[in-house]
Amino acid sequence: MPDWNDRYRDGNIPWDTGRHSAELVRVLYHEQIHPCRVIEFGCGTGTNGVWLAEQGYDVTGLDLSPLAIERAKERAAAAGVKVQFLAADLLASPDLGAPADFLFDRGCYHAVRRENVAGYLDAADRALAPGGIGLVLAGNAKEKNDPGPPVVEEAELRGEIGSRFDIVWVREFRFDPVIGVDIQPLAWSCFFRKRRS
């Protein structure tokens, strides 16, 4: 696995747009996901977590990089919102408090799955309350950009996430543009629900 803290220290973070995800906004609106408890995997510098908190959601965000978490806390303080940001390895069973109604992941699954997909799914299962919903945004293997995000085939996405959760839908979209980066990588948006039993 890359040293994520080094990536943040060096500014080598081409996924960090500096603003919240347009696909997250679209899904919240279309699926009518009202303010609730949210856990975000791979929250980075907190752009999505802070925006969610500004909309009234109760957010816990975690990231492997302490430097990213430090920046996320600064972003929340500057915005005047309360978000619980934790520097933690989701594969190490961190205490995230009460299970969430909504799990959000923009770019964590597609990196972690290459090392330990079962560990990722265990963490997602622990994070979500029964009947809770999740949104995973991941690189799409139909376009392999270099540089670009790790990618996953649709069948792999459906097989892995669908082995533990009920997939409601999968759709294609493009990640938001990043200033100074010429590509908008093709991605998957996967919306799923935790089984109640």
Q: Residues of the chain with pLDDT > 90: what percent?
A: 76
- How confident is the model at residue 129, as a pLDDT? 97
Average pLDDT score over residue span 73-84: 97
Question: Looking at per-residue confidence, does 24 or 184 come out higher?
Answer: 24
pLDDT at 88: 93
User: What is the per-residue pLDDT for 144?
Assistant: 79
Q: What is the predicted pLDDT for the residue at 152?
A: 95
| Number of domains forming the structure of the chain | 1
Mean pLDDT of 173-180: 85
Q: Which pLDDT belongs to residue 149?
A: 83
* Residue 12 confidence (pLDDT): 65
Mean pLDDT over residues 159-179, rounded?
Answer: 94
3-state secondary structure the chain: CCCHHHHHHHCCCCCCCCCCCHHHHHHHHHCCCCCCEEEEECCCCCHHHHHHHHCCCEEEEEECCHHHHHHHHHHHHHHCCCCEEEECCHHHCCCCCCCEEEEEEECCHHHHHHHHHHHHHHHHHHHEEEEEEEEEEEEECCCCCCCCCCEECHHHHHHHHHCCEEEEEEEEEECCCCCCCCCCCEEEEEEEEECCC
> Whole domain around residue 139: which residue ranges?
4-10+19-151+159-194
pLDDT for 196 equals 85
Decide if pLDDT at 108 tops 80: yes
The pLDDT value given to residue 11: 66
CATH number at residue 61: 3.40.50.150
pLDDT tens per residue, range 21-53 = 999 999 999 999 999 999 999 999 999 999 999
Please report, in angstroms and rounded to a whole number, the separation of the first and last CA atoms in the chain: 34
Question: Which pLDDT score, from 0 to 100, does residue 187 have?
Answer: 95
Q: Span 88-103, mean pLDDT?
A: 93
8 versus 168: which is more confidently predicted?
168
pLDDT at 10 over 80: no
- pTM > 0.85: yes or no: yes
